[in-house]
Amino acid sequence: MQQLTVFMDIESSRSYIDELYSPDAAKVVEALVTLKNSVIGSNRQKSSVIQQGVVPRLLQLMSDESLDPNIRLEATITIGSLAKGTAENVSSLVEQGTASALVELLKTSPIGTKLTEAGLCALRSVFMHPPAPIASLPADMRLLTRLTQIAREGSPTARACVVRILSIWCCGAGEQEALCAANACSAAAALLGATPAASTALPALDLLAAMCFENANVSQIALSTRYGDKPIPELLTTLVCRDKPLAVAMGAARCLTFMHRAGALPADDNRVVFGALPCLARLCTKEMPEDIRASAAETLAYLAEVDTSLQRLAAISNHLMTSLADIVNCQSPAAKQGAFKCFASLGANDEDIRKRIIETHGLMVHVVNGMNNPEASVRLAAVRCLHSLSRSVQQLRTTFQDHAVWKPLMQLLNDSPGTELLTVGSSTLCNLLLEFSPAKEPMLDQGAVEMLCSLTKRPEAALRLNGIWALMNMAFQAEQKVKQRILCCLGTEQMFRLLGDSDTQVIMKTLGLLRNLLSTRHHIDAIMSEYSSQVMQAVIVVLEGSYPAEVKEQALCILGNIGDGEKAKDLIMANEDVLRKLVDYLVQASEQSWGPTSTEYVSRAIQWAIDEAAEGAPGEQAAGGGAVRGGQPGVARRGGRGRAAGAPRGPRRAARAQAAARKARRRASARQSEDGSGSV
């Protein structure tokens, strides 16, 4: 039975566990080695040992500096092996303070010893099990400096462990800055520079990516950190080559992507255009394994999310569209969502690309299927893709209609989705509700008005904006019953609440909704007969409040519209406050106390409002004067859009605003005095 010692059940070998508590060092070592050999390779043994409560003793043996180094080493190795067990094993280890004990061990144990290496291996195993016990590793400068020193000078195993631990630990701006200050960039560069093996290069690439993600400062430092005579971007460019292992090339391309998006590398930089982009396009192709394709598609989506030139370039790289269309068919949710996101990025700005996506690859069926996918991340990505494609006027009228995409979309939005999906989904709705979209009618029947009104009550500004924006689009050139329904459902109270919103954009769109509601002569009269006091009050609130000029401009445009009504213009004429206000503005405008452009718009708007009100011209002529009128709101609208584009809250919004401005310009001549229904 001699041979059976190694695989004996832990229950049948109670004796050596008792030996762990022996005062005799030699016996303890022997017991530890036996224990170690019994747990390595077997999850069953690990669970059994943990259940028997041996862990605290092991931690004690590991941490006691007065003990024989061999005892400490074997105890640490055993802990490390236990940490390679099941998720439950690891979480029970963490509960018993293993992570903190290991960190304490690393603070004191000398660099380059086997003990340090074993401690690092164990800590890495613990960290690899999500959720990693990030709090057990404090952002203490001395500790971090020590760790990065190991990353530069330790044994290959120790270096790989340290960098892997830090790459998992680094999950916020605070950690990014702390690591950067502890010189982690140069440690990563050193690991990438000296003919790296995949096992050390991969964690280094992950660490670098984690540090650079959305962090301009760290990315800038990484840009100039050198190993030998090569700065990090150069090192990365050599790693994206075809001869490197796929995972390494993927990691390097991701780092370059993150550095670009964090503003360290411009979009036309060779290392982005000829390094990251072609590499990612290659990793999306059919020959690659599915997990690599999935992350390549997702990374490419992030790379090309904003920049139109990168989108155009990606669209013609290495048959990317065909590769992506193929990835959509993959089984794994990660692959599907990566492909959808990538399509969304490619089609974000360029109409030609959108057309090619839809026409050549019949994506719409997959998008509709994706919106019904059981996996939430796939649904979100599918809606993102739909949103991007919905910026195309042509697609709205054709493919979108053929596949009745509004059905699954409405269903998703009514099905209490997460905030993110709601934001993207409602942006898509805005576009689907544009006046030329055939989906507008059926969506009204599906209760779109009610849903959008409830969106305007959300605490998230982006959702309120999308809700009111979509309502505005819906009201544009709508029938009277639609307008009534909107007014009725939104309620004047909510409208006043929105006029006091903290987000200027929301106020703008609310006023835009009012403008769109108050168009066409008999609509104006009908609405004003019912809501005159509220509307006038709203206008006065805006005119007297401390709003920016562009908001006041909108209010004046509303006045202009009211002035077009048969009876409604009497309301202006009867309102002393409003008339006085208008005169004030004219005086102010002539003094040019506002910016030159706003002054021009506002004064024109006032002029127009007064003309409308005072002239009391017969209806026919007013309508005939449409050319004049059409010109004015055209100008006003363009001004409004221009400002929106000039003050973007995010690159995506800027892109939207630009697209909207283009559209607004295109249709300007055909406009009534309404705020255009812009696409988002």
Partner 1 sequence: MSFDLANNGNDKEDRKYYDRNKGDDLQISRTDMNMLIMNYLVTEGFKEAALKFQQEAGLQEPALCSSLDERIMIREAVQTGRIPDAIAMVNALHPELLDNDRYLYFHLQQLQLLELIRGGRAEEALAFASATLAEAGANDRNALTELERSLALLAFPDPHASPFADLLLPSHSQKIASELNAAILKMENQEYTNPKLCSLLRMILWSQNELDKHNIKYPKMTDLANATIEKPKHGRRL
How far apart CA 232 and CA 395 sit, in angstroms, is 43
**Interaction between residue 197 and partner 1 (CB under 8 A):** yes
Mask: binding to partner 1, 380-399, rule CB under 8 A, as x and -? --------------------
Residue 187 or 572 with smaller CB distance to partner 1: 187
Which of the residues 15 through 34 are near partner 1 (CB under 8 A)? Answer: 33
Kind plus residue range of the DSSP H or E element containing 58? helix 55-63
Question: Quick check: helix, strand or coil at residue 587?
Answer: helix
Other C-beta atoms closer than 10 Å to the C-beta of 429 total 28
Q: If you search the block for the tokens 């055909």, which residue do you land on? A: 670
- In single-letter form, the type of residue at position 219 comes to S
Beta bridge partners of 227: 230
Does position 156 bind partner 1 by CB under 8 A? yes
What sign has the CA pseudo-torsion 57, 58, 59, 65? positive
Q: Is 6 near partner 1 (CB under 8 A)?
A: yes
Closest to partner 1 by CB, 9 or 615: 9
Query: What contacts 24+ positions apart, CB below 8 Å, involve 651-655?
Result: 651/305, 651/306, 652/305, 652/306, 652/348, 655/306, 655/348, 655/349
Q: Candidates 4-12, 98-106, 406-414, 641-649: pick the segment binding partner 1 (CB under 8 A).
A: 4-12
Enter the tokens of residue 479: 């029938």
Does position 121 interact with partner 1 (CB under 8 A)? The reply is: yes
User: By CB under 8 A, is residue 360 in contact with partner 1?
Assistant: no
Site for partner 1 contains 5 (CB under 8 A): yes
H runs (alpha helix) in 456-520: 461-475, 480-490, 492-499, 504-517
Out of 62, 80, 221, 429, the only residue in the binding site for partner 1 (CB under 8 A) is: 80
Q: Is 259 in the site for partner 1 (CB under 8 A)?
A: no
Which residue among 18, 26, 44, 522 contacts partner 1 (CB under 8 A)? Answer: 44
Q: Give least dist CB 26 to partner 1, A.
A: 16
User: How far is the C-alpha of 177 from the C-alpha of 410, rounded, in Å?
Assistant: 43
- How far apart are alpha carbons 616 and 80 in whole angstroms? 88
Q: How far is the CB of 126 from partner 1 (least distance, A)?
A: 13
| Residue 195 CB, nearest approach to partner 1 (Å) | 9
CB atoms under 10 Å from CB of 149, counted, come to: 15
Which of 18, 22, 41, 548 forms a contact with partner 1 (CB under 8 A)?
Answer: 41
Q: Which residues contact 477 (CB under 8 A, 6 or more apart)?
A: 435, 516, 519, 672, 674
Choosing from 36, 226, 312, 355, the residue that interacts with partner 1 (CB under 8 A) is 36
Find the shortest distance in angstroms from Cβ 151 to partner 1: 16
Per-residue binding letters, 551-590, with partner 1 (x by CB under 8 A): ----------------------------------------
Q: Is 248 in the site for partner 1 (CB under 8 A)?
A: no
Stretches 2-10, 182-190, 356-364, 415-423: which one binds partner 1 (CB under 8 A)? Answer: 2-10
Q: Contacts by 42-46 with C-beta closer than 8 Å and gap 24+?
A: 43/85, 43/86, 43/89, 45/10, 46/81, 46/82, 46/84, 46/85, 46/86, 46/89
Nearer to partner 1 by Cβ, of 199 and 309: the residue is: 199
Binding mask 202-231 for partner 1 (x = CB under 8 A): ------------------------------
Scanning 192-200, 347-355, 454-462, 466-474 for contacts with partner 1 by CB under 8 A, the matching segment is: 192-200
CA distance 580 to 238: 71
Rounded Cα gap, residues 659 and 92, in angstroms? 54
In the bound complex, what is the minimum distance in angstroms from residue 288's beta carbon to partner 1? Answer: 21
Nearest CB to partner 1, comparing residues 192 and 517: 192
Q: How far is the CB of 8 from partner 1 (least distance, A)?
A: 8
Contacts with partner 1 by CB under 8 A: the residue count is 24
CA distances for 153 relative to 186, 187, 429, 572, angstroms? 12, 9, 56, 80
Give 121 or 543: the residue with its C-beta nearer to partner 1.
Answer: 121
Applying CB under 8 A, which part among 170-178, 197-205, 379-387, 477-485 lies near partner 1? 197-205
Residues contributing to the site for partner 1 (CB under 8 A): 3-7, 9, 33, 36-37, 40-44, 77, 80-81, 84, 118, 121, 156, 197, 199-200
